[in-house]
Structure 1
Amino acid sequence: MSTVTPPHTWTYALRLPHDPRAARVARMTVRSVLDSHGRPEVLDTVELLTSEMVTNTYRHTNGPASLRLTALADGRLRVGVWDSHPRIPSPFGLPPRDRVPLAAADGEGGRGLRLVQEYADCWGGWPLGDGLLDRGAGKLLWFEVGG
């Protein structure tokens, strides 16, 4: 009888409604997936950055979002968040990537993408669709940690 060994690579995807609770659902999903795959070393960082990115999709778009977690063969973890808005914010644009300025000390927002810049090993973004015929195709923002 042969033993089945789980693969080192895996992918989970989750569709998120435009709902203020979506970030909480994303955090719970990330925690469950990373716990089940024995990845405690990246859990806090991935949970925080995922929450920030999903919160931005709720705050800056009017449509649904999607979350994808992918374990890459070299031990890195890639997290992608899709939304329907086509604009790619700093620091996700094409190299040389813009640096996100520090948020005002008394400001209520403006720290999420700075956290991605500080804690992710790498990140990026892609527009989806040509912007003319594929209105609403949106963008995919991603970051990687670990490895």
Structure 2
Amino acid sequence: MKQLHDTVWQRRGISWIWENDAFSEVTKAGEVISLREMIRASKNWPDDLPSNGGNTLVVAGLDACLDLLSPAEAEEWLADTLKHVILSFQDAYEGDAALVFWLPGGQRRLKVQTASDAVTWKCSAPFGGEILDFGRLLWGEAREYPQEIILANGNKPAGLFHLRIT
């Protein structure tokens, strides 16, 4: 998978971050909205976003939502509801804003298959042995586009970035 050493993820595209340093580079705790608030906002996106000088919306709770659903329900919800909200966000801001999902512990849950660059999500108990084909559900077969976010002060991935989901 390609690595992103740039800060474009803070201003454009869709990201899933798990490192505290990445979080603090783009937002403050009081600016983060819940997944439920994001879905509600998708009916009428605000003109100004709360983080990063109005360029970024940081959302928490995706991991908890997926944990509450069975794998089959989670797959349906990701492919239908969440993907629709992401597409709506991209359209509303014409690609000139960033949607960032805060996933503390995401490095243990989101796995990149090195041979294919497929991205999977490891389910939690009681479905701990199952995985979701996260990348296929959200960005289809465009596997060459997601990139690992590498912060300036480190060499391990701080998250994943996708410029535009189609």
TM-score range, shorter chain: 0.3 to 0.5
Normalising by structure 1, report the TM-score: 0.36
TM-score (norm 2): 0.34
| Structure with greater helix share of residues | 2
Bigger relative CO (Cα 8 Å, ≥ 6 apart): 2
The structure with the largest alpha-carbon Rg is 1
